Amino acid sequence: MIRNEISGGAVRLLQGILAVGLTSATVLADAPAPGTPAEVVATYSSLADGILALKRTEENLCRSILAATIAHAHVALGRSQKALAAGDAKAAQAGLEVVAADVAQLATEGDNAVGAIRKKLIEAGQHHNSAGEAQGIFDEGFVIVTRAAKAKLLESSRSFAQMAQAPKAEALDAEWKKVETVVSELLKPGK
């Protein structure tokens, strides 16, 4: 009799355990799969927004460098043209040397000080256009100026430097239009 009670008790205990186990399995099956907590997802999302904002900021900064440089070159070109019209060859030459230097800076997204910052970023592993670098579109570390644009601007820089020796108004205008065309394309957002 004791044996039957133990056996009956064990059976009821086993039935209870199975019932709880089945109920738990049903509850777990109905529960969503465990996921990353919403707070962690929100933090990661805001980090991604910050990283992307920094990338956009770097692009905007480089566009500002280009805009300021082309404005400076435009002023120097205007001075050269006025000096040329007034017959002041020396002043025209000086102005065109400034234009040539500014156009070279357009080609390199800034002067040596900016180049040092670019080098610092590259050494830290920060390549704004790493995919474009791998495809040969950008030189290492460049943000806005493509290799093709750089080549065109450097060619114009050399042309202005050569024209400084014997400037002609028509040639200056034609070369400046080339520079403006390249830079206006580079200054478009999203390029």
Query: Amino acid identity of 61?
Result: L
191 has pLDDT over 60: no
- Scan for tokens 């991604």, then name that residue: 48
- The tokens for 4 are 């039957």
CB 161 within 8 Å of CB 97 = yes
- Scan for tokens 């790493």, then name that residue: 130
pLDDT score recorded for residue 115: 92
Please tell me whether residue 136 adopts helix, strand or coil conformation.
Answer: coil
Q: 34: pLDDT confidence band, cut at 50, 70 and 90?
A: confident
Residue ranges of domains in the chain: 53-186
What pTM was computed for the model? 0.76
pLDDT tens figures, 1-26: 444 444 454 445 445 544 544 454 45
pLDDT score recorded for residue 54: 87
pLDDT score recorded for residue 12: 55
pLDDT above 90 as % of the chain: 68
168 has pLDDT over 80: yes
CB 86 within 8 Å of CB 102 = no
pLDDT score recorded for residue 68: 97
Determine the Cα angle at 159 with ends 75 and 179, to 5°. Answer: 50
- The tokens for 112 are 């040596």
pLDDT score recorded for residue 173: 95
Q: How far apart are CA 91 and CA 73, in angstroms?
A: 15
Q: How far apart are CA 16 and CA 44, in angstroms?
A: 45
CB 129 within 8 Å of CB 165 = no
CB atoms within 10 A of CB 70: 23
Q: 84: pLDDT confidence band, cut at 50, 70 and 90?
A: very high
